Amino acid sequence: MKDSLSYTPGTADRPCVSDGTATGLFIVFEGGDGSGKTTQLSLLADALTARGYTVITSREPGGTEIGEKLRDLVLSNSGDPVDARTEALIFAASRAAHAAQKIRPALAAGAVVLSDRYIDSSAAYQGAGRSLGVESIVDLSRWATSNLLPDATLFLEVPPAASEQRVSVRGTTDRIEAENTQFKARTHTAFTDLAHTETTGPHTVIDGSGTIEQVHERVLAAITPLLAQRSLPRENTAPTKEAL
């Protein structure tokens, strides 16, 4: 199946130890621009590191040397325009490198991998936003990653108007953040739809409104049962968080 662009929803290939038990824990933060993903990922990384887990943080597009170069290429507001299909393929290429070079090795070592965006973002932005088809983009990403799906995707649900306000306060936008209202409405709908399916793995919808601390508590409540199900290696003293 790895050579096909068709996959069974809910199935994924994961790094395993010799007895066939999957190792590590792969958690993805998803949501529209301004939803608070990056902030909440950092807070969760700190909390898990304090508990003794080895935590690897990353982002998409990016996460590897080649991925960061592709990120600059596709998100820059300068240079030649990038058509929709080329954009989708650049994101898929970055994700392929990310999965093979960083995520899988970290999972095999028993780390908790936290990624700021993954397959859902491409499905929402290129599949729905660029009207290339959500299913087609999901299939492309699953092929690119050899069907590596997260153990959990935390979708931070924030109304589009609130997200737009947060982005405007930040003051800087990349090429995709600068898209029009119709584009953003399509992406929001796609994110919401994906959060209620198993196409890209298990999802938890988290209310992203309120204070940063309130949202953090909701994130912790969502991932605590998952941690309890896994026997991940932990240090007696808190290790240093590794981040890009």
Q: Which amino acid is at 92?
A: A
pLDDT of 160: 74
Query: What CATH number is attached to the domain comprising 201?
Result: 3.40.50.300
Q: Report if residue 234 sits inside a domain.
A: no
Dihedral pair phi/psi, residue 188, rounded to 5°: -60, -45
Q: Return binding residues for ATP.
A: 31-38
CA distances from 43 to 81, 121, 236, 242 (A): 36, 21, 21, 14
When pLDDT is cut at 50, 70 and 90, the band that residue 177 belongs to is confident
179: in domain: yes
How much is the pLDDT for 12? 67
Q: How many residues are given for the chain?
A: 244
End-to-end CA distance of the chain: 32
The answer as to whether 50 is a domain residue is: yes
Burial class of residue 157 (count of CB atoms within 10 Å of its CB; 0-12, 13-18, 19+)? middle
**Mean predicted confidence (pLDDT) in 64-78:** 88
Number of domains the chain is built from: 1
Is position 241 within any domain? no
pLDDT computed for residue 23 by the predictor: 82
**Residue 237 neighbours by CB distance under 10 Å:** 5
Domain-located, residue 240: no
Nearest CA to 138 among 59, 200, 60, 203?
A: 200
Report yes or no on 208 lying in a domain: yes
For 33-61, how does the pLDDT look when each residue is reduced to its tens digit (9 = 90+)?
A: 888 999 999 999 999 999 999 999 999 99
Residue 16 lies inside a defined structural domain of this protein: no
Share of the chain above pLDDT 70, in %: 82
Query: How confident is the model over 84-141, as pLDDT tens digits?
Result: 999 999 999 999 999 999 999 999 999 999 999 999 999 999 999 999 999 999 999 9
Q: Domain for residue 238, yes or no?
A: no
Q: Which residues are annotated as a binding site?
A: 31-38
Task: Assign 215 a pLDDT band (cuts: 50, 70, 90).
Answer: very high
Buried b / exposed e over 120-149, threshold 16 CB at 10 Å, is bbbbbbbbbbbebebeebbbbbbbbbebbb
Q: Phi/psi at 150 (nearest 5 deg)?
A: -70, 155
Domain of residue 142: give its range.
25-229
Task: Look at residue 67 in the predicted model and tell me its pLDDT.
Answer: 94
Single-letter amino acid, residue 198? E
The pLDDT tens digits of the residues spanning 205-214 come to: 999 999 999 9
pLDDT of res. 3: 47
